[in-house]
């Protein structure tokens, strides 16, 4: 019964994605859905940007293990990212009529800055996409009761996502996101009510978590612990702003006001609803205290089985159907965007450098070929990683925090930001981060924070010193938009 439902659900999802592909007539449709999404679809796609595998399985398990202080990056940092984008970046992005985030770096600075930042952002998606494929593998493995291994499930998941994303691009992502968001809300809300009753009421679950110290939020240690805490928040709150999937969903809206409102609504709804799987996961421990043993396993990925094991072993069939429907919805909605985003960025802002006169039709074909190649790279990364999805997501955004955020923010808000400053910011941020990861990983200042500070210094020095390379833009995009 459960496997039959899963198969039917996957077939319906693929059918929606293929139906959406009928709307794709050119590269603009494929990348930003023709910039025509209404508010309700735009908000759903923004919500689906973050509500993926790590939210349902890994963030919830991390809370069960480390409490609120352990999930400062997600949902706290991730939610603030979307709020920041809505308030400070969405309108400027939309009015510049950009196809990708890489286009911003070219228009504001020059081609070398565009290519370097685009490659850095593309590389960051390996960890993010791999986290979603790992979750699909875990779901298929649990559903088959071990008949399908984790690695086999990862391969199967990649094939499913690729099958409907490759044809419809952002139109497939948007329409499947809408369908999947409805499934997430219905499924997880129903499961929350069920496990609350099984655990003896929501009050008992909350009391148990409080007594175990899970609501302790602020660090109690020394300067190093505080810096680690702040940096974890910054990594997602700022590092995920210059991400193509966030940009793609924002600029797919039908107008600038919809882009701002949809992003803000999606971010706020994500923050509130992210605590539903967290509640369910801790209820699982209250219902079956032996579940806490999963928190001590040598393979960090096993901790993510807390929720699936509870649902399969302790709940009726209808609950299993709703939970795995919501779980698959969350994973697929994020995974499709995570595959499409680096594909469009690399193809448009790096590969196209060598083929500037390529026709729109050939560009579409190239996008689909690159999508397959990137999917294979993410698959290899997922098969060889032993990190939790939460760790994989955090690691992904270190790259963009040190290599792409400062040129983006300075380019929007500082009229004196120059091409020389942007190039120095990118190089100094990435080099400082890599050197600290190799030689000073245990230093008081975390490596990605050191990289961010180096990037800021590079932007200031490069823009204020005499200009030996490039030029100063007279007005920022924000100023022009106003």
Mean pLDDT on 96-113: 91
pLDDT band of 173, cuts 50, 70, 90: confident
pLDDT in tens, 207-227: 999 998 999 999 988 899 999
**pLDDT of 396 higher than 90:** no
Q: Please determine, for residue 387, whether its predicted confidence score (pLDDT) is greater than 70.
A: no
CA distances (Å), origin 175, targets 162, 265, 311, 329, 350 = 15, 18, 28, 12, 28
Task: Enter the tokens of residue 316.
Answer: 């009726």
- pLDDT reading at 482 higher than 50: no
Q: From its phi and psi, is residue 213 left (phi > 0), alpha (psi between -120 and 50) or beta?
A: left
Is the pLDDT assigned to residue 474 strictly greater than 50?
no
pLDDT value at 468 more than 90: no
pLDDT value for 329:
79
Residue 464 has pLDDT above 80, yes or no: yes
* pLDDT bucket at 103, cuts 50 / 70 / 90: very high
Span 82-105, average pLDDT = 90
Per mean pLDDT, which range of 113-127, 163-177, 199-213 is the poorest?
Answer: 163-177
Tell me the average pLDDT across 37-57: 85
Mean per-residue pLDDT, 370-374:
91
Question: Is the Cβ–Cβ distance between 303 and 281 less than 8 Å?
Answer: no
Output the pLDDT for position 248. Answer: 87
What is the reported pLDDT for 417? Answer: 94
What's the whole-number mean pLDDT along residues 20-25? 86
Computed over every residue of the chain, the mean pLDDT equals: 86
Q: Positive or negative, the Cα torsion across 347, 74, 266, 194?
A: positive
Q: Taking residues 47-69, what's their average pLDDT?
A: 82
What is the pLDDT, as a whole number, of residue 58?
78
Question: Could you read off the pLDDT of 266-307 as tens digits, one per residue?
Answer: 999 999 999 999 998 889 888 888 776 655 655 555 566 677
In 210-369 the beta strands, taken as DSSP E runs, fall at none
pTM reported for the whole predicted model: 0.85
Where does the pLDDT of residue 408 fall: very low under 50, low under 70, confident under 90, or very high at 90 and above? very high
Is the pLDDT reported for residue 322 higher than 90? no
- The pLDDT tens digits for 264-274 are 999 999 999 99
Could you give the angle at which helices 150-198 and 39-50 cross, rounded to 10 degrees? 110
pLDDT band at 102 (very low <50, low <70, confident <90, very high): very high
Percentage, residues of the chain above pLDDT 70: 92
| pLDDT(480) > 60 | no
Cβ pair 273, 185 in contact under 8 A:
yes
Return the pLDDT at 389.
58
Highest mean pLDDT among 135-144, 173-182, 385-394 belongs to 173-182
Interval 435-463 mean pLDDT: 94
304-to-100, 300, 387, 392, 418 alpha-carbon distances in Å: 34, 8, 11, 13, 45
Indicate the range of 175-184, 201-210, 379-388 predicted with least confidence: 379-388
Highest mean pLDDT among 131-135, 141-145, 167-171 belongs to 167-171
φ/ψ of residue 350, rounded to 5: -120, -60
Q: What is the mean pLDDT of residues 65-74?
A: 89
Please give the share of the chain, as a percent, with pLDDT higher than 90.
38
> Which tokens go with 305?
């089985």
pLDDT of residue 301: 55
Q: Quick one: residue 98, left, alpha or beta (phi over 0 = left, psi -120 to 50 = alpha)?
A: beta
Diameter of the chain measured on Cα atoms: 70
Q: Tokens 């928040």 sit at which residue?
A: 233
């Amino acid at each position: 019964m459960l496997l039959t439902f899963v198969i039917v659900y996957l077939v319906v999802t693929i059918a929606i994605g293929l139906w959406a592909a009928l709307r794709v007539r050119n590269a603009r449709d494929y990348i930003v859905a023709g910039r025509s999404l209404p508010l309700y679809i735009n908000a759903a796609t923004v919500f689906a940007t973050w509500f993926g595998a790590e939210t349902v399985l890994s963030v919830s398990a991390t809370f069960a293990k480390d409490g609120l202080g352990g999930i400062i990056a997600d949902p706290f940092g991730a939610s603030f990212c979307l709020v920041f984008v809505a308030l400070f970046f969405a309108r400027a992005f939309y009015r510049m009529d950009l196809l990708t985030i890489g286009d911003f770096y070219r228009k504001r600075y020059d081609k070398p800055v565009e290519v370097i930042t685009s490659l850095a952002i593309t590389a960051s998606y390996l960890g993010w996409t791999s986290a979603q494929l790992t979750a699909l593998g875990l779901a298929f493995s649990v559903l088959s009761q071990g008949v399908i291994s984790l690695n086999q499930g990862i391969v199967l998941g990649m094939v499913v996502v690729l099958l409907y994303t490759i044809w419809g691009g952002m139109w497939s992502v948007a329409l499947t996101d809408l369908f999947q968001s409805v499934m997430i809300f219905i499924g997880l809300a129903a499961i929350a009510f069920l496990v609350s009753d099984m655990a003896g009421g929501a009050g008992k679950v909350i009391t148990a978590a409080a007594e175990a110290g899970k609501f302790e939020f602020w660090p109690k240690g020394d300067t190093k612990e505080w810096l680690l805490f702040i940096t974890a928040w910054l990594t997602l709150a700022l590092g995920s702003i210059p991400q193509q999937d966030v940009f793609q969903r924002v600029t797919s809206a039908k107008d600038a006001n919809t882009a701002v409102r949809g992003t803000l609504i999606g971010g706020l709804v994500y923050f509130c609803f992210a605590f539903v799987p967290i509640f369910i996961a801790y209820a699982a421990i209250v219902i079956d205290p032996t579940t806490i043993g999963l928190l001590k396993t040598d393979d960090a990925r096993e901790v993510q089985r807390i929720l699936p094991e509870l649902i399969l072993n302790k709940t009726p069939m209808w609950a299993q159907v709703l939970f795995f429907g919501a779980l698959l919805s969350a994973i697929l909605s994020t995974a499709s965007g995570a595959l499409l985003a680096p594909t469009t960025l690399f193809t448009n802002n790096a590969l196209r450098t060598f083929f500037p006169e390529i026709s729109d039709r050939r560009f579409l074909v190239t996008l689909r070929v690159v999508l397959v190649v990137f999917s294979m790279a993410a698959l290899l990364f997922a098969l060889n990683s032993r990190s939790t999805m939460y760790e994989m997501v955090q690691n992904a955004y270190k790259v963009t925090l040190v290599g792409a955020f400062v040129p983006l923010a300075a380019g929007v808000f500082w009229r004196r930001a120059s091409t020389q400053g942007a190039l120095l910011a990118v190089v100094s941020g990435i080099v400082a981060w890599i050197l600290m990861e190799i030689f000073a990983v245990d230093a008081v200042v975390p490596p990605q924070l050191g990289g961010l500070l180096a990037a800021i210094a590079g932007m200031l020095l490069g823009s204020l010193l005499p200009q030996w390379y490039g030029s100063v833009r007279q007005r920022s995009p924000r100023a022009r938009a106003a």
